[in-house]
Amino acid sequence: MPSNLINSGTHTITVPENLPTDILAKRGIVSGGFAEHTRGYYHSRKNKKFTDLLCVIRGVLSVKFDGKKYKLRKGEVLVIPPNRLCDSYIEVPKSNLFWMHFKNNSYWNRIFGSEIIVKPLARFDDIHSIMHVYLNEVYGKHRSMIILESLADTLAELVKGEFLLNQRTSKQEQYDSFTEILSRVEKNPEKDWKAKDIAGELCIPVRRLDEFCLAYTAQTFPKFVLKTRMKVAKEMVKSNTLSIKEIAKKVGYATPYSFSRIFKNYYGKSPRKWEA
């Protein structure tokens, strides 16, 4: 951060007074803080010296990497390992985030892995709260090093626990969990199945979820959901026992119009013509 932007009186970027020892650095955390961005904010990130972690507190963070675009909302996190390129930007009036930079070392690289991660934080409330308490303490007039050391330990352990599962879970365990999720999709096509939610449940990046799905179904996860819904819908249409509105609801579409449009795009003719 350029020194002229810090504590200058004309910007809202501030840093606390120096501590006797760099508490966060001892845990491999380069820096951290809270940020508020407005529409138009854009940052193209490719950091060599640290892993970038950003989590949405309020609003929406749009990100793009590997040709795909995602929108992160409250409690969802973006992790960008060293030397990976990711664009992040704000398309809504205002969004609040917390962020941390982790050293590019063997310890944190083992925990985060080498792929960009988009997932919900299982312990978002805890991590958010610890960061707030640390913030209040480090900016306080009578800072306690004992409290700050304890908070830093807790913060590092919470983050480690959130991501270390990526390394602990064997390929067989991931496959078993993945096939169980495919079965759930087939049994409950009406649910709002989102790739980022499932990736978060499996503690893997969305990219890895699509790799699993392509390997075992020859489709990405969204296309598998679509195929499942259309297969179920076709059987319901052929049975001629439910209205189009009822079928739409049973396969996860809010309106008969949206269902009919997607059904026609998939099969080449509308449900009503299929009935006829």
Name the residue with tokens 């800072």: 143
* CA 199 remoteness from chain centre: 8
Q: pLDDT tens digits for the chain (276 residues)?
A: 334 434 444 445 666 778 888 899 989 999 899 999 999 999 998 888 899 999 999 999 999 998 889 999 999 999 999 999 999 999 999 999 999 999 999 889 888 988 899 999 989 999 999 999 998 998 888 899 999 999 999 999 999 988 875 554 556 667 788 888 999 999 999 999 998 888 877 767 787 788 888 988 999 999 999 999 999 999 999 888 899 999 999 999 999 999 999 999 999 988 887 654
Instruction: State which amino acid sits at residue 158.
Output: L
Distance spanning both ends of the chain, measured CA to CA: 67
Q: Which two tokens stand for residue 256?
A: 């008969």
Q: pTM, whole model, 2 decimals?
A: 0.62
Pairing of strands 50-58, 94-103: antiparallel
Exposed, middle or buried: residue 219 (CB in 10 Å: 0-12, 13-18, 19+)? Answer: middle
Task: Write the single-letter amino acid at 152.
Answer: A
